[in-house]
Structure 1
Amino acid sequence: MESTVKDRIKLFLQHLNIGQNSFESKVGWSNGYINNTKSISADKLNHVINEYPQLNLNWLITGKGVMTDPSALSDPTGQIIGMVEEGAAEYKNKYLEMLEENRLLRIEIEKLRKIIETKVHDNRDKFER
């Protein structure tokens, strides 16, 4: 499932624990803009980056990389946090992939279990006759 710029903005707002109305006001957007627009123009994104320089523009536009830009953080602690977030994002993606693989394998196991049960039942019927 691929997320949109709007979805990623909402994730960023959750990350900062701020409301959508507050965010829209701070970046100069009208109230309800995020929910009512189909796409967000480069000019509007520029307002976001000016107000939130820690937001990784590459992540916002493409969904690749990490949410926050470690280079926008001037102190070493911020850089460490950025590296940890990047590693966490990689592990989260790998974890989600493994969950999906696990789900598919469970479905396959259940199918095979049903096939075995059918074969065993058919063989019992043959021997009982």
Structure 2
Amino acid sequence: MIRQRLAEYLSNKGVSNYQFYKDTALSNGYLDKEGSIRSDIIEKISYKYPEINLTWLITGQGNMIKEVDPVQERTKVYSLRTDRLLDDQSIPLYDIEASAGLVELFRHNGDSTPVDTIRIPGLPKCDGSVYVTGDSMYPLLKSGDIVAYKEINDIQNNIYWGEMYLISIDFEGEEYISVKYVQKSEKGDSHIKLVSQNAHHQPKDVPLEKVRAIALIKATIRINSMG
């Protein structure tokens, strides 16, 4: 029954089975199998489709979509098993444009002047936070949301495949900054695949040598407003 409700949700949102398998890295035909769904799979589904009501998905009770207060600040934490959660920390909020891009921000992180600070208890250690621009991660993230990040220095060895990253790419001499899922590329270890939440944005394989800066997203903050 869980698979049937999941299929109903995907149909309702216009998400094809192909897109679902790509989003979740599950094998083709998974939706057609019999039996229950493991908790780690449900967690992965919730991560990729945060608006789905898990109570409805598991039990069939309630509404398909989570009910959200239209004026409310929401924080979603993406923590790893190795993360040490901090009861209190002050996370600087930076303006990427004022910092001349992500590369310069990371290079002069200790000297950059934040536009504000964020204090949320129970977050993993973060190096900073920035505003999101663009719609590549919609509906998970929208332009104006905030992401808190942890800088990654060793790109070759410290990428957690399938996680969300703030990334700077050298695009014909210009810096292209975006938030993407980073997956392994079929082109081999010399490339990474950047995947959007928004189905209208196609995945793109990028040479590692084009990555100028990268940071693991540790939390996202959305302020919902009717205005």
Give the TM-score normalised by structure 2: 0.30
Deviations 1:9-64 (A, max 9, x none): 01101111111121122012111111124221111010000011100010000000
Cα deviation for residue 71 of structure 1 reads: 2.5
| Residue type at the aligned position of 1:34 | L
Q: What secondary structure sits across from 1:40 in the alignment?
A: coil
* Residue number among 4, 11, 18 corresponding to 1:21 in the alignment: 18
Counterpart residue number, 2:120: none
User: In the alignment, does 2:63 pair up with 1:66?
Assistant: yes
Structure holding more strand per residue: 2
2: CA distance, partners of 1:51 / 1:16: 13
User: In the alignment, does 2:189 pair up with 1:40?
Assistant: no
RMSD over aligned Cα, in angstroms? 1.9
CA separation of 1:26/1:37 partners in 2, compared to 1, >3 Å: closer, same or farther? farther
Structure holding more helix per residue: 1
Cα deviation for residue 8 of structure 1 reads: 0.3
Gaps in structure 1 of 5+ consecutive residues: 78-129
1: CA distance, partners of 2:58 / 2:11: 17
Higher relative contact order (CA 8 A, sep 6+): 2
| Pairs aligned (count) | 74
| Residue type at the aligned position of 1:16 | K
Gaps in structure 2 of 5+ consecutive residues: 71-222
Could you tell me whether the CA contact under 8 Å between 1:21 and 1:32 is conserved in 2?
Answer: no
Could you tell me whether the CA contact under 8 Å between 1:27 and 1:48 is conserved in 2?
Answer: yes
Larger Rg: 1
Counterpart residue number, 1:75: 224
2: CA distance, partners of 1:21 / 1:37: 19
